[in-house]
Amino acid sequence: MNFLRTIVAAGMVAASTSAFAADITGAGATFPFPIYSKWADAYKKETGNGLNYQSIGSGAGIKQIQAKTVTFGATDAPLKHETLEKDGLVQWPMVMGAIVPVVNLEGIKPGELVLSGEVLGDIYLGKIKKWDDAAIAKLNPKLKLPADAITVVRRSDGSGTTFNFTDYLSKSSADWKAKVGSGTAVEWPAGVGAKGNEGVAGNVGQTKNAIGYVEYAYAKQNKLTYAAMINKAGKTVQPTIAAFQAAASNADWAKAPGYYVILTDQPGEASWPITAATFILMHKDATDKAASQEAIKFFKWSFEKGAKMAEELDYIPMPESVVKLIEKTWSSEIKS
Amino acid sequence: MAEMAVESDVMEAAGPYDRARALSAFKLGDITFYWITRACAISVLLILGGIIISLIVGAWPAIREYGAAFLWTQRWAPSADPPVLGALGPIYGTLVTSVIAMMIAIPVGLGIAVFLTEICPIWLRRPIGLAVELLAGIPSIIYGMWGFFVLGPFLANTFQPFMISVFDGIPVLGTIFAGPPSYLSLFNAALILAIMVLPFITAISVDVFKTVPPVLKEAAYGVGCTTWEVVRNVVIPYTRVGVIGGIMLALGRALGETMAVTFIIGNSFKIQSSIFAPGTTISAAIASEFAESDGLHQSGLILLGLLLFILTFFVLAAARLMLMRLEKKAGN
């Protein structure tokens, strides 16, 4: 990751010397880093304007935009409306990802195992200890599950992925909500912690009878066995782009101030239950208005032309209806 | 002789011989040198002081919130409102991994050093010496990845099941070596640490063993001592201070090592009786959580850093004390 970052940073330095146009700087979440840098590359080729994004983590991104050291901040965990108002910030979702449970079980193919939020919560609480537990067997009558202990794998570093995953568990398991709750780093009752999505993917891939949660892209790239989930409507859904977008379309964006919608456990028969958006933060009344306008131009371009690039990297573009809302927000809230 | 040479030099340069001027020029150089080195030395104290002060300032909110109970409470719940933080888990993990690492690395490291200096055939000396130096040169992230992909699976599939079955049912040992086997555990991290600190102990021991005057050893051999007796009664006593210095350097590294440990320790704040269970260390906890932390959580992590600082200070102070007492004893 650091290596990648160095390369990108070096590229940015080279780029900034050639084109002296108002360069946009952004910092924050690590999860959208690959797509933001891909967009920046394509945007640069088309318009000659550069963008410098540093993936320093959501929390740090929020701090940087509050301190006005960057043009925009990026976070996986959205800020509440009150915080936005207090700091004079505008927030909107930029692109989405999905989190999928992954397992390492002999003889079980991707999408075969079915889990529910409640069962997932009990596994992560350490209440369900073995794969042949009655609760798992009930959801999977046709599968032959081993009588072995479950190795629970989770993130050790604070992360937006963990925030969305624990938020989902809080919504679907009362016990989880009471004992653990949600956050970027929580008090894990069980399991081993691995660093980053790649750490969890690697760990689950290597450990027999393990379960973990990763961003969809990591499950796909590492060819891990993902599980199907039972969603809020009680239907079994497979993790597909269509299911992720269904969750976003079914969310009630229009009524959420500051787009404070956490996409987990959304209604709708086709919705994947652990979907997550990643957000951009900008000042309503920025000190450097030129850079601020440049940034908006870049985001507008990304919404219009970047959808395909996002899908290539296994991100999910925001649905058309949401993009329209966001564009309205820009024109009404950001001062030029 | 030297003075003569200098005088003639100065005479050539300055024409008429002026002893006082030449001397004062030397004095000025001397004074400058004195102050430059002194400033360098003092800058260490300033830097150290700056680090301590900034740690205390950063940790202050957490100190006020949790007080001394931070040291012996175990619950680590940064997402609770307000966060509930206790450092016992990381402190325990730091101490346990370091102690196990030293238990493995000290005998092995000294063994290598003795073999290299006393027993090893000359043609084998360079390869082994080079290998030890290479071990020290490998970046810690490489150790972490190797531990994660190679050592961890080996330990979990082969070594741990064996130990668990051997000690099963024996009181105390049975709980220390309890299952289930795990890729990521305190023991695996300790083993990686042992390998990482090995070169420190070995390299320094080899260097100090070489300082033993051959006369002493030859005399001991002359009165019929075996190699073991020479090492035991001549080499080790003669080089004790240096060897302990090397061990302390190694212990310092073991206490603070971050990246490799984070990879392979399992990062669990809960203390479990088995060393085959996941745990965490102070530095692993900070590295994992710092980037996404804020408020009290971040302050708590800085307080952890302050604790590590203090812990290392006490370990080094204890080592100094031990050395002083050893020297006194030797003096008697």
Here the ipTM equals: 0.74
Subunit contact A63:B294, Cβ cutoff 8 A: yes
Torsional class of B97: left (φ above 0), alpha (ψ -120 to 50), beta (otherwise): alpha
Instruction: State the pLDDT at residue B301.
Output: 95
Using DSSP, state whether A91 is helix, strand or coil: strand
Query: How many residue pairs bridge chain A and chain B with CB atoms within 8 Å of each other?
Result: 95
Residues A186 and B78: beta-carbon distance below 8 Å: yes
Interface of B with A (CB under 8 A): 75-80, 84, 148-149, 152-153, 156, 180, 182-184, 262-263, 266-269, 278, 280, 284, 288-289, 291-294, 297
Subunit contact A59:B180, Cβ cutoff 8 A: no
Q: How far apart are CA B194 and CA B187, in angstroms?
A: 10
Question: Which residues of chain B have a CB within 8 Å of the CB of A185?
Answer: 78-79, 288-289, 292-293, 297
| Tens-place pLDDT, residues A279-322 | 999 999 888 888 888 999 999 999 999 999 998 888 889 888 88
**Could you say which residues of chain A have pLDDT below 70?**
1-22
Q: How far apart are CA A58 and CA B274, in angstroms?
A: 35
Could you count the other beta carbons within 10 Å of the beta carbon of residue A179? 14
Instruction: State the pLDDT at residue B331.
Output: 62
Residues B247 and B201: beta-carbon distance below 8 Å: yes
Instruction: State the pLDDT at residue B86.
Output: 92
Instruction: State the pLDDT at residue B12.
Output: 53
Subunit contact A206:B153, Cβ cutoff 8 A: yes
**Closest CB to B289 among A62, A151, A157:** A157
In 3D, which of A63, A95, A52 has the Cα closest to residue A76?
Answer: A95
Q: How far apart are CA A245 and CA A317, in angstroms?
A: 8
Instruction: State the pLDDT at residue B293.
Output: 81
Subunit contact B297:A151, Cβ cutoff 8 A: no
Instruction: State the pLDDT at residue A20.
Output: 46
**Closest CB to B79 among A149, A181, A191:** A181
Residues A251 and A263: beta-carbon distance below 8 Å: yes
Question: For testing the chain B interface, which of A192, A209, A278 should be mutated: the one with the most B CBs within 10 Å?
Answer: A192
**What crossing angle do the helices spanning B282-289 and B88-114 adopt, rounded to 10°?**
120
Q: How far apart are CA A96 and CA A92, in angstroms?
A: 12
**Closest CB to B293 among A151, A158, A193:** A158
What element of type H or E holds A230?
Answer: strand A228-230
Number of alpha carbons in the 13 Å side-chain half-sphere of residue A67: 11
Interface of A with B (CB under 8 A): 56-60, 62-63, 149, 151, 156-159, 166, 180-188, 191-195, 199, 202-203, 206-207
**Closest CB to B291 among A157, A182, A192:** A157
Alpha helices in chain B (DSSP H): 2-14, 19-66, 88-114, 122-137, 140-146, 152-154, 160-167, 173-176, 186-209, 214-222, 227-230, 236-256, 259-264, 282-289, 295-331
Question: Which residues of chain A have a CB within 8 Å of the CB of B263?
Answer: 195, 199
Question: Which residues of chain A have a CB within 8 Å of the CB of B269?
Answer: 187-188
Q: Which residues contact A329 (CB under 8 A, 6 or more apart)?
A: A90, A92, A259
**Token pair of B195 as six digits:** 């390998």
Subunit contact B184:A203, Cβ cutoff 8 A: yes
Peptide bond into B82 cis (omega under 30): yes
**Could you say which residues of chain B have pLDDT below 70?**
1-17, 330-332
In 3D, which of A14, A11, A52 has the Cα closest to residue A33?
Answer: A52
Subunit contact A181:B269, Cβ cutoff 8 A: no
Residues A43 and A302: beta-carbon distance below 8 Å: yes
Instruction: State the pLDDT at residue B66.
Output: 93
Q: How far is B147 from chain A (nearest CA, A)?
A: 12
| Tens-place pLDDT, residues B188-211 | 999 999 999 999 999 999 999 999
